[in-house]
């Protein structure tokens, strides 16, 4: 037991240093409180050990005094050193398990028998087996090296630091993934896609992300999103205008930015699909909002006119 306490207390300086220098839960002075608790635990442990040794000593003395009063006390025989055992032959060599356990043969147990005898149960003064003490020493050394490496010297990343770096790396990889699909696309270079594959992909994106506010057919929903099937637009009806509106959103009107969910190519596809809804006139379409937009190739000089000013305000796309 004394060895256990020695091994335990040998790690207390590292524990105390870690507690005194680490940042624990961002609670002021909590680290020093933890250091004091560790030292107090060591003091209490040693106090219990001393109490245990004192109790055994007093028990032995009281037993001896009682035997002397009862007349049953026998003077212990002087300890006679036994002659060393002769070397064992190959056939008598002890097994590996015996060596790991460091067990005392039954015929020699008298040498390690203590004077405690409880209802015929004898107590032996056996040492802890070498495999146990070796494993305890290895784990104790590992714990000291681990704490010194990660918490005292800070030469390695803790689990929290590894997590934060992994999250940061994931964000960078996400940005790269979103931008890799269309690095050359922006509001100035984006064009309208009219091939069936692109419009089909844009429709799938629309039904998954935009239908909730603008309706399945682009008719708009009162109190949510405007009508996409008429030529009136609040933030412009050109493909570049739609690309900007979808990518960055309109936070003031409740529309989120989609640049973190959709890459530039996907934004181009859904914007092209929205423009393909022009003139479909679905049932229940909301009244026009914003300004009339006519493609430059078809627009006369005086084609821009305000929409019905009596239309209720609706959150734009």
The verdict on residue 178 lying in a domain is no
Domain count, the chain: 2
Q: How many helices (H) and strands (E) does the chain have?
A: 10, 4
The verdict on residue 174 lying in a domain is no
The verdict on residue 89 lying in a domain is no
Q: How many CB atoms lie within 10 A of CB 278?
A: 15
Q: Where are the alpha helices (DSSP H) in the chain?
A: 2-10, 12-21, 30-70, 96-101, 130-147, 159-180, 196-209, 211-214, 239-248, 264-275
Residues 121 and 8 grouped into a single domain: yes
Residues 111 and 52 grouped into a single domain: yes
Residues 106 and 42 grouped into a single domain: yes
The verdict on residue 250 lying in a domain is yes
Please tell me the predicted confidence (pLDDT) of residue 16.
Answer: 53
Residues 121 and 233 grouped into a single domain: no
pLDDT at 201 over 80: yes
Question: Which residues face 250 on adjacent strands?
Answer: 255
Please tell me the predicted confidence (pLDDT) of residue 98.
Answer: 65
Please tell me the predicted confidence (pLDDT) of residue 208.
Answer: 92
Residue 289's closest CA among 315, 304, 311?
311
- Residue 270 contacts residue 262 (beta carbons within 8 Å): yes
Residues 151 and 206 grouped into a single domain: no
Confidence of residue 178 (pLDDT cuts 50, 70, 90): low
pLDDT at 304 over 60: no
pLDDT at 281 over 50: yes
User: Which of 140, 156, 172 is where one domain is finished?
Assistant: 156
Q: How many CB atoms lie within 10 A of CB 274?
A: 23
**Residue 293 DSSP class:** -
The verdict on residue 298 lying in a domain is no
pLDDT at 204 over 80: yes
Residues 149 and 38 grouped into a single domain: yes
pLDDT at 52 over 80: yes
Residues 6 and 152 grouped into a single domain: yes
Query: Mean of the pLDDT values across residues 97-105?
Result: 69
Residues 20 and 152 grouped into a single domain: yes
Domain that holds residue 225: 196-292
- Residue 211 contacts residue 228 (beta carbons within 8 Å): no
pLDDT at 60 over 50: yes
- Residue 205 contacts residue 294 (beta carbons within 8 Å): no
What's the rounded Cα separation, in Å, for the pair 284 and 220? 8
Query: Mean of the pLDDT values across residues 86-94?
Result: 47
Query: Mean of the pLDDT values across residues 298-313?
Result: 44
């Amino acid at each position: 037991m004394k060895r256990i306490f020695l091994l335990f207390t040998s790690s207390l300086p590292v524990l105390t240093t870690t507690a005194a220098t680490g940042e624990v839960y961002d609670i002021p002075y909590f680290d020093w409180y933890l250091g004091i608790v560790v030292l107090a635990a060591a003091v209490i442990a040693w106090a219990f050990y001393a109490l245990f040794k004192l109790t055994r000593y007093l028990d032995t003395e009281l037993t001896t005094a009682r035997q002397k009063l009862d007349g049953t006390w026998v003077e212990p025989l002087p300890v006679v050193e036994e002659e060393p055992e002769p070397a064992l032959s190959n056939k008598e060599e002890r097994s590996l398990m015996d060596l790991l356990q460091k067990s005392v043969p039954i015929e020699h147990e008298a040498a390690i028998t203590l004077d405690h005898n409880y209802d015929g149960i004898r107590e032996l003064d056996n040492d802890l087996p070498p495999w146990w003490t070796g494993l305890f020493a290895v784990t104790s050394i590992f714990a000291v090296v681990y704490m010194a490496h990660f918490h005292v010297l800070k030469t390695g990343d803790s689990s929290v630091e590894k997590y934060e770096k992994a999250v940061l790396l994931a964000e960078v990889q996400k940005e790269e993934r979103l931008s890799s699909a269309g690095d050359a696309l922006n509001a100035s270079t984006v064009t309208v896609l009219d091939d069936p594959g692109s419009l089909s992909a844009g429709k799938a994106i629309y039904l998954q992300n935009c239908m909730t506010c603008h309706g399945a057919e682009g008719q708009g929903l009162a109190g949510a999103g405007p009508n996409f099937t008429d030529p009136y637009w609040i933030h412009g009806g050109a493909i570049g205008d739609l690309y900007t509106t979808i990518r960055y959103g309109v936070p003031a009107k409740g529309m989120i930015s989609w640049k973190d969910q959709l890459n530039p190519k996907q934004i181009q596809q859904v914007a092209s699909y929205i423009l393909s809804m022009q003139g479909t006139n679905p049932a229940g379409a909301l009244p026009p909002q914003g300004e009339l937009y006519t493609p430059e190739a078809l627009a006369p000089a005086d084609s821009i006119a305000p929409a019905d000013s009596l239309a209720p305000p609706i959150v734009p796309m």
